Amino acid sequence: MKLSEEARDVLETSMRQNKVSEKDRNEIENLIVTLPDDRVLLYKNVDSNPIGDLERYSIHIRLQHMLTFVTFLTLAFTGLPILFFNAFWAEPFNSFLGGIEITRIIHRTIAVVMIFTMIYHIMTITFGTLVRIKEGKFDIRRSIIPLMKDVYDFRDDILYFARMRDQRPVMDKFMYKQKIHYFAAAFGNTVMIVSGSSFLFPEIWASILPEAYAAYFQELMRLSHPHEALLALLVIAFWHWYNVHLAPGRFPMQWTFLTGKITREHQIEEHFLEYLRNLVEVPEERQLLRDMLESRELVLKPEAPLNDLLATDEEGGR
């Protein structure tokens, strides 16, 4: 396989950051040369454990996902009967919990847990990044920060799905879709926290804001809170769950949120640049890939002899 310029750069950066020895460097280079150019051929042939092969998320990130997942659903389930308290279905629900006062207390308590999760997450990514910078292992391309590459990847992926391109773009640890989703969630959380706190502490917000805007702000927040909630619910139910449960290759469930690991197949298909880093960081992965290529007879033959032959032929013609 001939690596693109950006893939070559990612590989070089990873080898430099991991202080790879000359022997390992040669091993990695020799392995990559023998990879077939068609990545579909590669990921359809690698052996994958359904619950995941390669490290992706730390225990902190998994815990935060779990907390977000529980708090999000509980907030949605309790928020709706608070908003439509006199609807025919809301009354029995509220009285089942012990009255609307109890539903509101549950909603607010869970909201505190959600805010705690957001703080926990910000601390995790901040300290994680600082540690990586200190160790000299930080690479912005490996982070969730959106880059111009994501715009090109998005375009190329659409071209691929429209059959105007024969390979999916070579994407990094977080692809464009994940970055959009992540920042949508971050924005949504902020809106929910700001608007929710304005219901609970209107006087504090009124003391912070200029007098002329305080009442207007309350009105705006009263509109934002339920609408942002509905938007988030739609995104989760029809986009996120499709991507992690129903999409071909993920059905019936992607295990990453529990095991923190991604399957080798998925890594090569959607996060090939991260897979290159895996080849640098996990020596066993190199052996595994080499064995697979040999057993399936997928090793790309070196092109040198053929080129030599053509060169001689041309010379002979002259």
Partner 1 sequence: MIRPMTFWQKVIAYTSLFFVLICTVFGIFAIYVILKEGS
Q: Name which position in 76, 100, 102, 214 contacts partner 1 (CB under 8 A).
A: 76
Of the candidates 30, 290, 32, 50, the residue with the CA atom closest to the CA atom of residue 170: 32
Could you give the count of Cα atoms lying within 13 Å of 221 in the half-sphere of its Cβ? Answer: 21
Q: Which is nearer to partner 1, 77 or 138 (CB)?
A: 77
In total, the chain counts a number of residues equal to 318
> Near partner 1 by CB under 8 A, which window of 8-16, 43-51, 58-66, 200-208?
43-51
Residue 224 binds partner 1, judged by CB under 8 A = no
Give least dist CB 253 to partner 1, A. 4
Residue 41 binds partner 1, judged by CB under 8 A = no
Q: How far is CA 274 from the centre of its chain?
A: 12
Rounded to whole angstroms, the maximal C-alpha distance in the chain is 95
Distance CA 3, CA 253 (A): 32
3-state secondary structure of 303: coil
3-state secondary structure of 145: coil
Give least dist CB 57 to partner 1, A. 17
Could you give the count of Cα atoms lying within 13 Å of 134 in the half-sphere of its Cβ? Answer: 6
Q: How far is CA 178 from the centre of its chain?
A: 4
Residue 47 binds partner 1, judged by CB under 8 A = yes
Residue 298 binds partner 1, judged by CB under 8 A = no
Distance CA 80, CA 86 (A): 11
Q: Name which position in 80, 170, 191, 268 contacts partner 1 (CB under 8 A).
A: 80
> Residue 223 corresponds to which tokens in the numbers above?
């509109």
Contacts with partner 1 in 96-135 (CB under 8 A)? none
Give least dist CB 37 to partner 1, A. 19
Residue 265 binds partner 1, judged by CB under 8 A = yes
Give least dist CB 73 to partner 1, A. 6
Residue 285 binds partner 1, judged by CB under 8 A = no
Q: Name which position in 210, 252, 316, 317 contacts partner 1 (CB under 8 A).
A: 252
Distance CA 224, CA 199 (A): 12
Which residues of this chain interact with partner 1, rule CB under 8 A? 44-51, 73, 76-77, 80, 83-84, 87, 223, 226-227, 230, 233-234, 236-238, 241, 245, 249, 251-253, 255, 263, 265
